[in-house]
Structure 1
Amino acid sequence: MGTFTLTNPATAHHSAPWLTDIMTRFNRYRLYRQTYNELSALDARQLDDLGLTRSMLKRVAYQAAYDAA
């Protein structure tokens, strides 16, 4: 899945700050959901290989989406 970004430089400077904020929040939430869903699809052994437990998945997904920015 790609992210929604302004690709036309001519319109990028015309976008309102609130629109940029909404797009950033939306993209971060999508990354959170994608990360969480992918980790949730792993079985217990695969999670153990990564050093994770099921109870850690939300935190790990959150850190991937929001702390990386």
Structure 2
Amino acid sequence: MNIRQKLAQFAQYQQTVRELNSLDTRSLNDLGINRYDIKNLARNMAR
């Protein structure tokens, strides 16, 4: 994997974390997401 791909993955990770953190707890619960799981979820989505 080259540096461009790594940077694109990191950008996607950051965007996912930002978007999920912007949701309120009720919205996250509706999606079945715990606030503590956001970083792990974002990491998995960026792969």
- Report which of the two structures shows the higher radius of gyration computed on alpha carbons: 1
- Counterpart of 1:41, as a letter, is S
Higher RCO (C-alpha 8 Å, min separation 6) = 2
User: Deviation at 1:65?
Assistant: 0.1
Residue in structure 2 matching 1:50, options 31, 36, 40 = 31
TM-score relative to the length of structure 1 = 0.66
Structure with more of its chain in helix, by fraction: 2
RMSD: 1.0
Distance in 2 between residues matched to 1:41 and 1:27, nearest whole Å:
21
Identity fraction in percent: 36
- Counterparts of 1:1-69 in structure 2 under 5 Å? 21-66=2-47
- Structure 2 portions without partners, runs of 5+: none
Structure 1 runs (4+) deviating above 2 angstroms are: none
Distance 2:44 2:21 in 1: 15
> Unaligned stretches of 5+ in structure 1?
1-19
